[in-house]
């Protein structure tokens, strides 16, 4: 068994939070999903549910960035990579019956005005995503300022489309947002300085 009890708790929490949100997920439900004894939660996370939430957010944020970077990395060029990210997201959505979209968006909206520690955790994850995407666009020759704007708009398109897709139970929004993102990146590539 390669996975420790603590890891199983974090992983199960992340999955449940992603689908039902933070407030909608009980500690009992988490230990049941993780096949862990109840008390272990408070052994590994003395700060209780909130500390567990923070760790789950950071963990799944890290994982998701790796996943997206992996999908983006195998594209022949930047445009194909952006298209692949949106297509991959759509595929995952269909495979999971529209359950698995962004791992932390639901929690981020929930806790933004109710828990400062959790809000900070989501902000850190988002910052790292934006920084990573900015770097990626800049590496393609897009000026830094422009690259950061592109990072925000591409990720906003993705996050926004996730909301519509899950609510409407169709991947149409993701396809359209993806087309828009490709167009925006294409325009930025076209007038980059040489």
Which of the listed partners (DNA, its own copies, none) does 139 bind, with a CB threshold of 5 to 8 Å by partner kind? Answer: none
DSSP state of 141: T
What does the binding site for its own copies look like in residue numbers (CB under 8 A)?
Answer: 19-24, 97-99, 101, 105-106, 108-110, 112-114, 119, 122-123, 126-127, 130, 148-150, 152-153, 155-161, 163-164, 166-169, 172-173, 176-177, 179-180, 183-184, 187
Contact 9, 31 (CB under 8 A): yes
- What does each C-alpha distance from 41 to 36, 98, 170 come to in angstroms? 8, 29, 37
Which of the listed partners (DNA, its own copies, none) does 99 bind, with a CB threshold of 5 to 8 Å by partner kind? Answer: its own copies
Query: Given the complex with DNA, which of 28 and 144 has the nearer CB atom?
Result: 28
What is the C-alpha separation between 57 and 48, in angstroms, rounded?
14
Least distance from C-beta 40 to DNA, angstroms?
4
Which of the listed partners (DNA, its own copies, none) does 39 bind, with a CB threshold of 5 to 8 Å by partner kind? Answer: DNA
Query: Given the complex with DNA, which of 48 and 70 has the nearer CB atom?
Result: 48
Q: For the chain, where are the alpha helices, taking DSSP H only?
A: 5-20, 27-34, 38-44, 48-73, 78-95, 105-111, 116-139, 144-168, 172-190
What does the binding site for DNA look like in residue numbers (CB under 7 A)?
Answer: 5, 25-29, 36-44, 48-50
Residue 186 neighbours by CB distance under 10 Å = 12
């Amino acid at each position: 068994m390669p996975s420790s009890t603590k890891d199983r708790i974090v992983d199960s929490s992340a999955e449940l939070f992603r689908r039902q949100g933070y407030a909608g997920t009980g500690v009992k439900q988490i230990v049941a999903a993780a096949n862990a004894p109840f008390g272990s939660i408070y052994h590994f996370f003395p700060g209780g549910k909130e500390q567990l939430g923070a760790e789950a957010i950071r963990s799944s944020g890290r994982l998701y960035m790796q996943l997206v970077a992996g999908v983006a990395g195998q594209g022949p060029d930047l445009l194909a990579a952006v298209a692949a990210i949106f297509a991959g997201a759509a595929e995952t959505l269909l495979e999971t019956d529209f359950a698995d979209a962004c791992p932390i968006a639901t929690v981020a909206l929930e806790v933004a005005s109710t828990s400062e520690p959790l809000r900070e955790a989501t902000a850190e994850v988002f910052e790292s995503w934006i920084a990573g995407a900015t770097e990626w666009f800049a590496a393609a020759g897009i000026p830094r300022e422009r690259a950061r704007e592109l990072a925000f708009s591409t990720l906003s398109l993705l996050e926004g489309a996730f909301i519509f897709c899950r609510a409407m139970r169709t991947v149409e929004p993701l396809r359209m947002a993806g087309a828009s993102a490709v167009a925006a990146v294409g325009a930025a590539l076209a007038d980059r300085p040489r």
